[in-house]
Amino acid sequence: MDAPLVQWKNKPQSITVTTWGSSSCPPDATDLELGAENNLTIYFESETEGACTADLAPTTHVFTLPDDAQHSPLTVRINSDGVTSPDRHVLD
């Protein structure tokens, strides 16, 4: 998965995460985990069965945030198929 785009949708209640991948097998968001200091990890899993097209297309996911995460700054990390990206997305 290429680097996602993370943005406020309806601050502070929701965010959007745009991921990139096969248009026929977009990644599925499986979990949200809020850690210390308003650090949010979003977990994605990719389709592993069946054929996927070899194109690159965006998929935008909308997440309603837990009440405890509804203040700034919010730091978002993406975990894709068990690997957490070192990239952090800080939303003020």
How far lies 73's CA from each of 12, 70, 86, 90, in Å? 10, 9, 18, 6
Q: Report the mean per-residue pLDDT for the chain.
A: 91
pLDDT given for residue 49 in this prediction? 83
Mean pLDDT computed over 84-89: 87
Give the span between the Cα atoms of 40 and 30, in whole angstroms. Answer: 13
Tens digit of each residue's pLDDT (9 = 90 or more) over 27-56: 999 999 999 989 999 999 987 788 999 999
**Closest by Cα among 22, 40, 24 to 32:** 40
pLDDT given for residue 48 in this prediction? 75
Per-domain boundaries in the chain: 5-91
- Tokens representing 4 are 């996602």
Residue 1 has pLDDT above 70, yes or no: no
Three-state DSSP class for residue 31: strand
Position 8 confidence tier, pLDDT thresholds 50, 70, 90: very high
pLDDT given for residue 15 in this prediction? 96
Mean pLDDT computed over 60-73: 91
